[in-house]
Copies of this chain bind each other. A is one copy, B any other.
Amino acid sequence: MKKAVVLLSGGLDSATVLAIARKQGFDCYCLSLDYHQRHIAELHAANNVAIAMDASVHKTAQLDLSLFGGSALTDNAIDVPESETTGIPVTYVPARNTIMLSLALAWAEVLEAQDIFIGVNALDYSGYPDCRGEYVKAFQDMANLATKSAVEGKTITIHAPLIDMTKAEIVTLGTTFGVDYAMTVSCYQADSQGEACGLCDSCRLRRGGFLAAGLPDPTRYKMHLGK
């Protein structure tokens, strides 16, 4: 079986990506990042998802991005917005996907893996620049000049299978593949038990996906939310 590194946040998208990579026959090495995010509960979710989906290994790198701050997810002084905002929201974490893909690249090289999976999505998303196809392509181009393996001919492919899918399509596909979304945590301000606020951008996109797909929403919300 070919090895792949799968970036696993513990949210809905990356759980679906892990299911896709497994379905494609990859031996999956899952990588999460503890960057002292506000919603640390997502890391427990990532571990549960990795086990449930028969990943070979799950590692969590530690890198405290509050060293730099600049985001509602790494600086507690910045509130997570609970209604829609214009432009790229304050939940954007500077260079987060670049950092996570760089770590995945390092591990892939050590594993002699040539495939990296990431759950970015450029349709039902928050406008983050590092979730767009052109960014993913540019990272892949850079990666293929960056490593000893690539220079020796073992090129890297960055797979972003959700890039052009709606959230409804994502949850429909994942459900077909047996993903248990009750395990996943998307909320930016999930509590330590993984219960979701239902109000932040990430919750809104997730709720909208289940609604549009006509699938039951298994998310545990902190409060009763109208349909």
Contact = CB atoms under 8 A, between A and B. Distances in A.
Interface of A: 59, 61-65, 67-70, 88, 92-99, 102-103, 105-107, 109-110, 128-130, 132, 134-135, 138-139, 141-143, 145-148, 150-151
A184 to B, nearest CB: 24
Nearest to A150: B129
Contacts of A128: 148
A61 B99 CA distance: 12
Given A67-B59, A99-B106, A145 B138 contact: yes
Given A88-B148, A129-B145, 11 more contacts: A59-B67, A63-B63, A65-B106, A68-B110, A88-B151, A94-B147, A102-B102, A130-B145, A134-B145, A135-B146, A141-B142
Contacts of A70: 106, 109-110
Given A129-B146, A146-B129, A94 B67 contact: no
B143 A141 contact: no
A216 B33 CA distance: 45
Q: Which among A128, A132, A135 has the greatest number of chain B C-beta atoms within 10 A?
A: A135
Contact of A62 (B64, B105, B138, B146): B64
28 contacts: A62-B62, A62-B63, A68-B106, A68-B110, A69-B110, A70-B106, A70-B109, A88-B148, A92-B148, A94-B106, A94-B107, A94-B148, A95-B103, A95-B109, A95-B146, A98-B105, A98-B106, A99-B99, A99-B103, A99-B106, A128-B148, A129-B145, A129-B146, A129-B148, A130-B145, A135-B146, A141-B141, A141-B142
Contact of A130 (B95, B96, B134, B146): B146
| The 5 A-B residue pairs with the shortest CB-CB distance in the complex, in nearest-first order | A70-B110, A95-B106, A94-B109, A138-B142, A135-B145
Nearest to A97: B146
B94 A105 contact: yes
Nearest to A96: B106
A95 to B, nearest CB: 4
